[in-house]
Structure 1
Amino acid sequence: MTVRLTPLPAARYDEWSAATRERLIRLRQDSGLRLGEDAVTQAGQYFTELLPNGLDSTASQVLLIADGDDELGTLWLGANAGRLFVIDLALSVPPSTSQGDEIVAALQTIATGEEASLISIGLFRQDVEGHRLVDGRGFRVASIQMLLEPLPDREVAPHVVVAPMTVERYPSFADTSEAAFAVDLATSGRYSPEEAAVESRRQFLQELPQGLDTPGQEIFTATVDGVEVGILWIGMRERGGRPHAFILDIEVAADQRRKGYGRELMHATEREARRLGAGSIGLHVFGFNDAAVTLYEQLGYRRLEEQFVLDVGDAARAGS
């Protein structure tokens, strides 16, 4: 192995941090994930939370990628809860196939040293070199952030009717939604079943601390001819100073599937988003849900950011 990952020299930190901050802002703005000052604020939070003391911070580390005397770029890494996170990968020189193999192998070595079983990296759609590095090296898409903007003008007659969920219906919805999300988190490979249950509970309480009375949360029951066929949960956000609708849960009842109700629920989402003053809709979908990804792309949603993961144990066994 000739590629080495070594700590960034302290004398280069200011230059690196300024360039990386600009890179994080540009990637978010160009992808559409964050607009204007939102991208600036999020980039600043990364440095405040992960590098509060510069290179002396314990929450993350910054490494140079070099092959002999040639620098290929930098890596910003963090480790937590059995996972090694690639916070930023900046390749100044496109690595060769063998160099790419060695970079990933070095990441696996670091992950093993951190007792991490998973390597995670988020890549924006325009990050060509990042995608080239993960392609064909055992990484899989764990999740995708998608956006529909602007909202299309569709001539679609509403068949599925959505109405605010009742207090009586809410408890069973809450139990089912939380449990289903935990299963999806575990299936994605990002969490163990035990961790997934805890994370699902945390996110549910964060979004709905007051249940149905939580401001900015819109939860609907979907019906066809008076028969319940699914549910829809929209969290209202802000995007570029305008209202933005984010789909937190959308589900067709098991006995009502393969009737086209999923597509019609998405059309209903557009109508509700427009009624709520939103000019865009965002969503998160797990990478294993191919059918949902296909539907969303057919409806005009585009990928903003993909989260890739690599199982260190599987990668190590494959290379032995």
Structure 2
Amino acid sequence: MSVFVTVVLFLVLAVAVNADIEVDCGHTEVKVRWSDPRSQMEPSLLKLGTCSPNSFYDGKAVFNVNLEDCSFRRMVTGGQVIFLNDLTHIYDPAFSQPVVCAFERHSDWSPPLYTPKFNTYGYSNLVFQMGLMNADFTGPALSSAYPLGSLIPIMAAVYQSSHQPLLLHMEECFAAMTPQPQPDSPVYPIITNKGCLVDSKSTNSRFQTRERTSEMHLLLQAFKFPLGEDVYIHCKLMAWDPEGLDSSKKACHFVKGHGWELLDDPARSDLCRCCDSHCMARRKRGLASGQGVMQKTVLGPLTIIDGSTP
């Protein structure tokens, strides 16, 4: 039997957040205009969530973005569907203005179908990405819902234009229910201790053999977290000199009946011995030294569902 769902969202008229920021909310997109001739901030360095301005000129910045992009947070409460984000400036941590689009929730409203996409972050001439993939990592996932106990294929990558070859590591990853973790919100540790896939000790999670140094493939077993709710995977990605492996720059997973194994050179798995204790961090040098760089990323939302429910 076919079920047809009609999604109807009633537009809330444009709201001026303050005298210098205007927000025009559409059914699926939002336009944000920022202008402040008194400010010393560079408008090109403004960010709407994870997105940069589409245009900037004469002390003004304009964003035209989809509500499913830029790490907008979606809340469904009472009779409303609310999309929230923050307008910030890269070099002014004190500047933060909320951007809100609120719609009346129709009785037949349901979350939009998943559209495969990657979360992309730029740093100098490096571009970092994380994405949900299909089972053999040949393309993006067609769904973001995973039955409890199934494997979630996740790809992380760094792309470089003219930089020396770099080796990508996933230094730390955890799951949370929000794109911006809250102090009291539950988290699920996945990778800790400078690259140790701690989840692999009790589950079937594991790294896949690399096809190229600039990518990592992780098979993450869907874990028992609030079922049916949005889940976000927060990671610190680190791109480093391929010759610089040590106990603080590594990718280790636990092999049942064998112990901790180093992904890139099993013969050097002694670098993983600290995974059960504490792996000391060494001082990191920046891109200017030709060594490496760290980038925080957020992937999601995805949903873990009860596989026993039809």
TM-score, with normalisation over the residues of structure 2? 0.30
Name the one with the larger strand percent. Answer: 2
Name the one with the larger helix percent. Answer: 1
